[in-house]
Chains A and B, each alone.
Chain A
Amino acid sequence: MAGIDIDGITKNFGRTEVLRRVDLDIRAGEFMTLVGPSGCGKSTLLRIVAGLELQSSGSVRIADTPVDSLRPRDRDLAMVFQSYALYPHLTVGENIAVPLRMRQLKGHQRWPYLGALMPGARDIERAIAAEVGSVADMLDIGHLLARKPGQLSGGQRQRVALGRAMVRHPKAFLMDEPLSNLDAKLRVHMRAEIAQLHRRLGTTFIYVTHDQSEAMTMSDRIAVMMDGAILQVAAPDTVYNDPTDIRVAEFIGSPKINVLPAMVRADGSLAVEDSIIAVEAGAAPGEPVTLAFRPEHALLADPEQAALRGRIAHVENLGSDILVHVRVGESGQPPLVVRTAPNGHRHEIGEKTGIDLSSRLPLLFGRDGKRIGVASARQREAAHG
């Protein structure tokens, strides 16, 4: 178990800059998720930590020791690949044993057939087999040890890949989208299993995914990456409720956060569409900003009294929740989504409705996408006495 410090890593492939000065401190025993859209450089960063790829500049430290000049073998990490990367010619048991055999047996003890006759080889092989057996039992694949990977289902292969990573008790686990080849149901199941595994092993995990729900459900902390840079590193709750950048706010959360262009007025309140939202924005008057709110932080209300008005464009009934899509104003913007509890009221398409935002302060972002402070108007009144 060890912390991993990523310090000013950049990476260029030819002329394209894939990572730009990435800094990330991962604590010992932490489950850190790198999340971001496809192509943002998550895999590249992970491969640099693993030593499979060489950074253009910057350095990686594992347990406070720089590892930049070490081969992957000597960094004492284990990796689970998206494609599982099992050796197709070896049985499940042999696959899991590879990391141990490569490290514990001497070259001549690994010779085919003859190796087992070498002095000491038999004892080591026996210890390895015992280790493989216990890992396999832990992952519930004990009965599959004699099969070839080609004879396994996707989920079973995934477990074998996990077993091969676990068997050596490495300093940290690196996982690159390990669940993306599984079907939706199995993915949710394995999600829980990996999180449980992390709790049981207590080892540092770096987990790469482009699926924000995986990131939200499994991690201690999330690092949101975009275009080769980390935008925010925080606990899932914080990233969700307190995003520092509009791109983070839009990437995390499903359904997506609602955004509306707004204008700061002289008294700090916001002009949105044809109405005024009484808050105090921390931005200069006249500045265009983006107002954002989560679907569950708004309420459907009487159009006459609510901040925003529009017509219902679409209704999604999820059983536990109903997502009401409301088209506000005449603009070509996507409709706003409001999450409501099913209360027997039928929402008709085309029905006029209002959206009430007063239950919670909306999020504000400046023109550069960075978060802007906002206070409630009442506080202001209080402050002004």
Chain B
Amino acid sequence: MVDHVLDRPLAEAKPVPATLGRWVQLRQAMAAYALCTPAVVLMIALLVGPILAVMALSLTDYQLGAKSLAFIGLENYVEMFGERVFWISLTNTMIYVALVVPGSVLLGLGVALLIEAGDSGKTFYRAVFFLPVMATLIAMAIVWEFMLHPQFGLVNLLLKLVGMTPQNWLTDGDLALYVLATIGIWQAVGFNMVLFLAGIVSIPRFLYDAAEMDGVPSAWERFRLVTWPMLGPVTLFVVVITSIRSFQVFDTVHVLTKGGPNKATEVLLYTMYAEGFEFFRSGYAAAITVVFLAFVLLLTVVKTQLIDKKVHYQ
């Protein structure tokens, strides 16, 4: 069929008598579908397929390596919603996101503004703040582990030096999650800064000239009149990306706390990992994954449906 369509180049398609019109239209439609097919097939196989597979898996009692599986309906979900660990995990993830997103977005914006306002050393500052993004988080997590060590960690040594009480940063249930969030912010600031820098550079200079002529009284008013609104699309993108990435927090938890102490740093992806790859309960882990995907999807929908219209000024 494809051959048949292709053997008649488009240029030949001349105006046809009305009776032939329908036939030509049909052929064009068929050609269009034929041309879409490879892309659609790949998309289903690589993007939609795995998600559907996970959804299907979450409705079974499959165990990793098992020879058989049975359909058990929503039992995994019922179990999940009844389990304390899941709710702790979900709450922790939420707290983590609620800290890391505003923290890294505001700091990223602040750093970008400061770098752009300065005259010299722009490249240097950019590179320095971008370092944590380029370094593998697993490796950096080990560095953090050294720094936060209760006895000989740099942080506690410094605290002692200025006469403050050292802390058990990673083993204190009240502190551990906030320490992880701090590391999360530290890691995300550089990435957000780069995005904000790109946004700031693309704001037309003449808008600042206009603001100056219109009499903005202070740098803050100038920021509110020009910079902040013009950064709207970038900010939205940064917030969504940072939210999704913080939802995915895993590496630091795995290296530094293993979800402990006493589930204080248990987060969604870590719970999923433990269930799926330590207890081999693949069906149950799939159910957690579906919940995770639902959140990510929700964020994306909020972005496209609600906010996109407000930050692109057309």
Contact = CB atoms under 8 A, between A and B. Distances in A.
B215 A73 contact: yes
A117 interface: no
Given A98-B214, A103-B215, 6 more contacts: A52-B212, A72-B215, A81-B206, A81-B209, A86-B210, A110-B221
Contacts of A78: 213
27 contacts: A50-B213, A52-B209, A52-B212, A52-B213, A72-B215, A73-B215, A77-B213, A78-B213, A79-B210, A81-B206, A83-B206, A85-B209, A86-B210, A87-B207, A88-B229, A89-B229, A89-B313, A98-B214, A98-B225, A99-B213, A99-B214, A102-B217, A102-B221, A110-B221, A148-B313, A150-B313, A164-B214
B216 A88 contact: no
A360 interface: no
A344 interface: no
Contacts of A86: 210
A87 B218 CA distance: 17
Contact of B314 (A73, A103, A150): A150
B204 interface: yes
B232 A89 contact: yes
Interface in B209-255: 209-210, 212-218, 221, 225-226, 229-230, 232
6 smallest A-B Cβ distances: which pairs?
A85-B210, A89-B229, A73-B215, A88-B313, A102-B215, A85-B206
A72 B222 CA distance: 13
Nearest to B310: A89
Nearest to A89: B229
B226 A87 contact: yes
Contacts of A149: 313
A232 to B, nearest CB: 29
A366 to B, nearest CB: 42
Interface string A85-121: 1111100000000110011000100100000000000
Contacts of A81: 206, 209-210
B213 A87 contact: no
B234 to A, nearest CB: 13
A71 interface: yes
Nearest to B220: A107
A238 B207 CA distance: 38
Contacts of B217: 73, 102, 107
Contacts, number: 66
Interface string B180-208: 00000000000000000000000010110
Nearest to A99: B214
Interface of B: 204, 206-207, 209-210, 212-218, 221, 225-226, 229-230, 232, 313-314
Contacts of B204: 83, 85
A47 B212 CA distance: 11
A110 B207 CA distance: 19
A71 B212 contact: yes
A110 B218 CA distance: 13
A114 to B, nearest CB: 13
B245 to A, nearest CB: 28
A79 B206 CA distance: 11
B214 A102 contact: yes
A374 B214 CA distance: 51
B145 to A, nearest CB: 44
Contacts of B215: 72-73, 99, 102-103
Contacts of B206: 81, 83, 85
A81 B208 CA distance: 12
A73 B216 contact: yes
Nearest to A91: B313
A50 B229 CA distance: 25
A149 B226 CA distance: 15
Contacts of A98: 214, 225
Contacts of B221: 102, 107, 110
A25 to B, nearest CB: 23
Interface string A144-170: 000011110000000000001000000
Interface string A272-286: 000000000000000
Contact of B213 (A72, A107, A110, A148): A72
Contacts of A102: 214-217, 221, 225
